[in-house]
Structure 1
Amino acid sequence: MTTTSTEPPRLSRVQAAIRVVAALVVAGVVVGLAWAWLAPPIQLVIALTKSGDRVRGYVGDESDLLFLGAFVMTGLLFVMAVAAAVATWQWRSHRGPVMVAALAVGSLLASGAAAGVGAAVARWRHGAVDVMGAPVSPEHRVFYTHEAASVFFGSGPFQIAASVVIPAGVAALVYALCALSTKRDDLGAWPPEEVPVLLVPSGISGPAPTTAADPPSDPWPPSPR
């Protein structure tokens, strides 16, 4: 019997899981700041109709930037989830279900932190659109302004939930693929499991193949007709 030994970890599994979650939350804040810097503002117009109503609309194809902003946020979170899963897998002594749970919870919290920080910083940079306070009058019926890009693809609860859950699913999937690629049942984690290995003494070769190992032939061949 032989074993593949690894050094015992200095941290417990719970402590390691807490560190993974905390690191992912910090990464989410960084993603939110990066998104607020990368996402372009959206130009829009506020107009006063003949009936005295205030309406808002987008200039040209500026409405496409709503999709672009949400796409950039999803792409950044996707990259973060893949990188986090690969980095967590490298922590060999703590591989296992606890790390998968920490990775999923941390990715959820990171998505929420990225969306919250990104929306807050973008609002601080570009301000909020006040339709009722826009300086429009019968003499100047059109007012041009801009607003921050959208963090999510929509304002519905299912759209928001999907945007938050997707990074956690991607991280868990990448971690599962890494687990499938290893040959050990214990994933190489601590404590290592014993792996039985058949040791053949030197100078002794295996048994030579004989004719008995071949499948027997039919003793009664079919008679010709």
Structure 2
Amino acid sequence: MTAPLTPPPHGRSPDDPVPQPSFGAPPSAGLEPGELRRAVLVGLAVTVTGLLLGLAWLWLAPRVPLVSDGKAVYLENTEGEHAIGADGTFVLLGLALGAVWALLVFLLFRRGGVPLVAALAVGGLLGSVIAWRLGVALGPTTNVVAHAREVGKGVAFDGPLQLRAKGALLAWPTAAMLVHLALTGLFGPRDPEPVLPPL
């Protein structure tokens, strides 16, 4: 006499294979290659834009007029704010460029994620360094003594373009991260609401 067959739990038939436990991370864990590729391309594009920032800074930053008495070089106007103006111009340009890049990346991909935010930050920082070095290299000579000797005693000339507050280099990456995070939080795709089981 055989025992009556009872249906297995959870609606499985006796012929169904027994599920085996899986070990390791789920397939969705980690970063997709496409996501990393997009982040690398964004980082490179943002970095190259540092050339434009450097040229804009060179063009818009106020000059610091210097003058020589034949023995030493002095500021022509000791109460001028030209030196601070150069730093302020760099910061404003960096903030604007960071916001533009954040908006552009959001409109292109409509998503957030650590790779894109990191690409904006790293690219912005590298672009700021490139802009700083390019502006100094293309600006007035940094050999102030030789330049003063060349123009002559009592003749005003432009001092070198300098970035005195190195914290200005963080304006671009900071603006890019904050604006992108804000756009993603406000207008990015939402996760679907979980479906509640029927009562």
| Structure 2 residue 38 is the aligned partner of structure 1 residue 12 | no
Provide the rounded CA distance (Å) in 1 between the counterparts of 2:102 and 2:146. 47
Figure out how many residues of one structure are paired with residues of the other and give that number: 163
CA positional deviation for 1:57: 1.1
- 2:179 pairs with 168, 174, 189, which one? 174
CA offsets 1:102-151 (integer angstroms, 9 cap, x no match): 111111111111111111111xxx33343267449xxx86443222332x
Provide the rounded CA distance (Å) in 2 between the counterparts of 1:80 and 1:38. 15
Identity %: 25
Match of 2:62 in 1: 40
Provide the rounded CA distance (Å) in 2 between the counterparts of 1:91 and 1:121. 34
Match of 1:102 in 2: 119
- The letter for the 2-side match of 1:81 is G
Maintained 8 Å contact 2:90/2:168: no
| Corresponding residue SS for 1:90 | helix
- TM-score normalised by the chain length of structure 2: 0.70
- The letter for the 2-side match of 1:65 is H
- The letter for the 1-side match of 2:93 is L
Match of 2:11 in 1: none
- The letter for the 1-side match of 2:142 is A
| Structure 2 residue 176 is the aligned partner of structure 1 residue 165 | no
- 2:49 pairs with 18, 24, 27, which one? 27
CA positional deviation for 1:39: 2.1
| Corresponding residue SS for 2:156 | strand
- TM-score normalised by the chain length of structure 1: 0.63
| Corresponding residue SS for 1:23 | helix
Match of 2:145 in 1: 131
CA positional deviation for 1:99: 0.7
Q: Which structure shows the higher helix fraction?
A: 2
- The letter for the 1-side match of 2:106 is W
Provide the rounded CA distance (Å) in 2 between the counterparts of 1:34 and 1:183. 32
4+ runs deviating over 4 angstroms: 183-186, 194-198
Question: What is the root-mean-square deviation of aligned Cα atoms in Å?
Answer: 2.7
Provide the rounded CA distance (Å) in 1 between the counterparts of 2:160 and 2:146. 18
Runs of 5+ unmatched residues, structure 1: 1-10, 49-53, 187-193, 199-225
Provide the rounded CA distance (Å) in 2 between the counterparts of 1:81 and 1:149. 22
Maintained 8 Å contact 1:40/1:148: no
- The letter for the 2-side match of 1:146 is D
- The letter for the 1-side match of 2:59 is W
Provide the rounded CA distance (Å) in 2 between the counterparts of 1:183 and 1:166. 24
Maintained 8 Å contact 1:129/1:146: no
Runs of 5+ unmatched residues, structure 2: 1-32
Provide the rounded CA distance (Å) in 1 between the counterparts of 2:185 and 2:41. 24
